[in-house]
Structure 1
């Protein structure tokens, strides 16, 4: 029993210096994405495109509603073939509007993903440098569920944002 206790104490004494040298920090990459200058600029670019596309969509929807109104007003006066043609035109316009909406959504998602990837790649480069220069053994991402508790003193997020903005 004494040998076990002595071995345990020896192990703890030898492990203590190794633990003291370990430096761990965390970053909130979502916060860095949202608050960095590049992140704010990317968001505003996408918001401007959303506004532009919303105006286009409203105009196209107005045309579609106008076509529907004409169809309803002229339904009694039109021949069957002319009425059928107007209905086909209306359905075609409706499908085009849906396609436009889907294409815009896909385009905006792709642009957002491209901006995010570009910014994250740069953030990771800077994190590598911060980790090396700061003597950190590990830097973990706060929002990935791995951090249950962390003291604010080891949060490098603000330092990361400053370094990222300065790197431009």
Structure 2
């Protein structure tokens, strides 16, 4: 792949990749780092792209997988006690400082609470919900990114909504 072609791929996908990473990482700097890792992976592996889906779908899949890998890595480190108490506090409070460009400023408090609840979902539900509600992908696009059937995506989204209702019931009862 020549440099010009790669620049075009980055230009066409950089906003989507960054916003996808931001939706998972909840931190602008980490989202930028992850987006950079995504494009490095794309560059190194473009020859493996088979064209069985759209290039953007393949890139979404890479973005999602890279973010989940990083979240799991942090979770393992946290469980293993490799982070100090201060680091744990910073990680736990990240959602409070989270700003997503798709969320109006006056809704930031509610968005923070919602994103904290989304973080508690099992990974498949979290991915499906994020791609559907935050990235606004269709069920068909999500099924390609996650490599699952449309009925599986519908099921994941249904369970995610039910779990979010349970998680958010307390919040809405107190306001």
Provide the TM-score with structure 2 as the length reference.
0.24
CA radius of gyration, larger in:
1
Name the one with the larger strand percent. Answer: 1
Of the two structures, which has the highest relative contact order with CA contacts closer than 8 Å and spacing of 6 or more? Answer: 1
TM-score (normalizing by structure 1) = 0.25
